[in-house]
Amino acid sequence: MATPSKTPPGADPKQLERTGTVREIGSQAVWSLSSCKPGFGVDQLRDDNLETYWQSDGSQPHLVNIQFRRRTTVKMLCIYADYKSDESYTPSKISVRVGNNFHNLQEIRQLEMVEPSGWIHISLLNQRTNEPISTFMIQIAVLANHQNGRDTHMRQIKVYTPVEESSIGKFPRCTTVDFMMYRTIR
């Protein structure tokens, strides 16, 4: 009997942000949940605090809907899940769907997690072109939890868009300080 290997935790998204390659854009979106327990809602999901969490309060699948004002390129999602603290509330199967509105969603990724203990990075790159997807809406669906729990805890979700960083010209980012110094007038 092979125990499935535990999902390794990913890097802290803050580190990612500091590289300047991605930018967190969750603040530009409207977040909604399929259900939640009072006091454990969207605010707790988006408060940058790993101690607070969203607790769902309905039937599966539990949904997190992220709607943008305009079509946005999204490169990756980061979800914080911790089996040790959430146990049966920890999601085990997550489906990511994108589309224009609620009726237009298409699943682009489905992933299984085994006893996660940190940040899970879900990269949302287009299958064919390897480009980040551009969408109006993202829906994260929790299809199953560990130990077949009914409700789920989710501690933090972050949405990242790639930073073009092209101040002028259609070129990729420059790497040296010397170049970057002259890139812009501040």
Partner 1 sequence: FRVAAVWQALNHYAYLDAVFLAERLYAEVRSEEALYLLATCYYRSGKPYKAYRLLKAHSCSTPQVRFLLAKCCVELSKLAEGEQVLIGGVLNKQKSQDDIITEFGDSCTLTLTLTDRVAKGAECFQRSLTLNPFLWSPFQNLCHLGEKPDPDQVFRLSSLQNCSIALPPQSVSPAQNPSHRLDTALMETPQDTLELNRLNLESSNGKLTPDLSVSYIDSSLITPETGSLLGSTVSMASAGSLLAKQNKPKSGRSLLGGPSALSPLTPSFGILPLDPSPGDPTYLQNYTATMETQSTASNKKVQRHTSVSRISQSKSVFSQSGNSREVLPIPFNQTQSSAPHTSGSPQVLSPSMSGPPNVQPRRSSRLFTSASSTAKENSKKLKMKFPTKIPNRKTKCKTAKTSNSSNLNESLDILRLEPGLGLPDPKSQYQRAAADSVMALLRELGRGYQALCSYNCREAIHILTALPPQHYNTGWVLTHIGRAYFELAEYAQAERLFSEVRRIESYRVEGMEIYSTTLWHLQKDVALSALSKDLTDMDKNCPEAWCVAGNCFSLQREHDIAIKFFQRAIQVDPGFAYAYTLLGHEFVLTEELDRALACFRNAIRVNNRHYNAWYGLGMIYYKQEKFNLAEIHFKKALSINPQSSVLLCHIGVVQHALKKSDAALETLNRAIGIDPKNPLCKFHRASILFANDKYKAALQELEELKQIVPKESLVYFLIGKVYKKLGQTHLALMNFSWAMDLDPKGANNQIKEAIDKRYLPEDEGEDQVDDSQESSMTDADDTQLHTAESDDVL
- Interacting residues toward partner 1 by CB under 8 A: 7-8, 10-11, 15-21, 23, 25, 27-28, 76, 109, 111, 113, 120-123, 125, 127-131, 162, 167-169, 171-186
- State the nearest-atom distance from the C-beta of 168 to partner 1, in Å: 5
- State the nearest-atom distance from the C-beta of 122 to partner 1, in Å: 8
Q: Which is closer to partner 1, CB of 55 or CB of 135? A: 135
Q: How far apart are the first and last CA of the chain?
A: 61
Sorted by sequence, the CB contacts under 8 Å of residue 46 that are 6+ apart come out as: 26, 31, 156, 157
Query: Reduced to 3 states, what is the DSSP secondary structure of residue 145?
Result: strand
Give me the residue label for tokens 């300080």: 177
- State the nearest-atom distance from the C-beta of 140 to partner 1, in Å: 15
Q: Which is closer to partner 1, CB of 55 or CB of 132? A: 132
- State the nearest-atom distance from the C-beta of 59 to partner 1, in Å: 26
What span, in angstroms and rounded, lies between the C-alpha atoms of 127 and 121? 17
Q: Which is closer to partner 1, CB of 101 or CB of 129? A: 129
- State the nearest-atom distance from the C-beta of 107 to partner 1, in Å: 12
Query: Reduced to 3 states, what is the DSSP secondary structure of residue 13?
Result: helix
Q: Which is closer to partner 1, CB of 76 or CB of 141? A: 76
Q: Which is closer to partner 1, CB of 11 or CB of 30? A: 11
Does 162 sit behind a cis peptide bond, omega within 30 degrees of 0 on the bond before it?
no
What span, in angstroms and rounded, lies between the C-alpha atoms of 106 and 100? 10
Query: Reduced to 3 states, what is the DSSP secondary structure of residue 15?
Result: helix
- State the nearest-atom distance from the C-beta of 42 to partner 1, in Å: 18
What span, in angstroms and rounded, lies between the C-alpha atoms of 173 and 66? 29
Q: Which is closer to partner 1, CB of 14 or CB of 150? A: 14
What span, in angstroms and rounded, lies between the C-alpha atoms of 89 and 105? 26
